[in-house]
Structure 1
């Protein structure tokens, strides 16, 4: 089981459950606006339910920051199969904290929960991308001790 993190406003970090799907979707949509891809955002609450909770295995896993039953933030991740190092990696897909809850170390608590999850599952590393214009995001991750991987470039091939 994951360790519970709490701060001054009684935030509990826990694994998301199907009942969280609607709020997860809302936060995903807010993140799409923030990261400027809302014009191609095609996720619905039903897709979140089906892909994250009903499918076995699910397409993604998630943690939520729960404040008295309200979802204050989310972290969405999935596992990447192992190759060279003989250990899987975790891929952090989305991290978002509702504007009303920012400045309370919720992002850090969500990242710590993911770090613990990766350790418990014997993963080699956690990977993610940050938009080059997101200076606050880059500073946040560096403050946690993460480093930019300058050995690899990201490529996309649209289909």
Structure 2
């Protein structure tokens, strides 16, 4: 996750620790997030973090993909595609109607990757934030 924060240029505000991950994702009976991990000989090659959006107009849940990161040593080996396929299987298993995510406008490689998978940019909605 730290490498993703560096890649996406928000490392200055990054405060996630291994303890936070353990507590939020693995110790709670209703975890705040779920994670798919790609490993190679005990090394993390990539990871995908997601959570469920239970309430939609279609009366079906959706999945929101929060993070997808493949270590630069493993890029070009279809690990991102395998993680996305695993997420699609998770969505189907949980009767989800769609998977949603955002991608930085400067991340051309990410945009090409998602388009290659058949994903479509949603131009119907604007992304807003409200810092509190």
Same fold (TM over 0.5): yes
Q: Are 1:35 and 2:5 matched, yes or no? A: no
State the Cα RMSD in Å: 0.7
- Normalised by the length of structure 2, the TM-score is 0.98
Unaligned segments of structure 2, at least 5 residues = none
Equivalent position of 1:60 in the other structure: 33
State the number of aligned residues.
132
4+ residue segments displaced more than 2 Å: none
Superposed, 1:30-109 pairs within 5 Å as 30-109=3-82
Q: 2:89 aligns with which of 100, 116, 120?
A: 116
Deviation at 1:83, TM superposition (A): 2.6
Unaligned runs of 5+ in 1: 1-27
TM-score, structure 1 as length reference? 0.81
SS in 1 for 2:63: strand
- Equivalent of 2:104 in 128, 131, 154: 131
Q: Distance in 1 between matches of 2:104 and 2:44?
A: 24
Structure with higher RCO (Cα < 8 A, 6+ apart): 1
What is the alpha-carbon distance in structure 1 between the residues aligned to residue 39 and residue 113 of structure 2? 21
* SS of alignment partner, residue 81 of structure 2: helix
Which residue is equivalent to 1:22? none
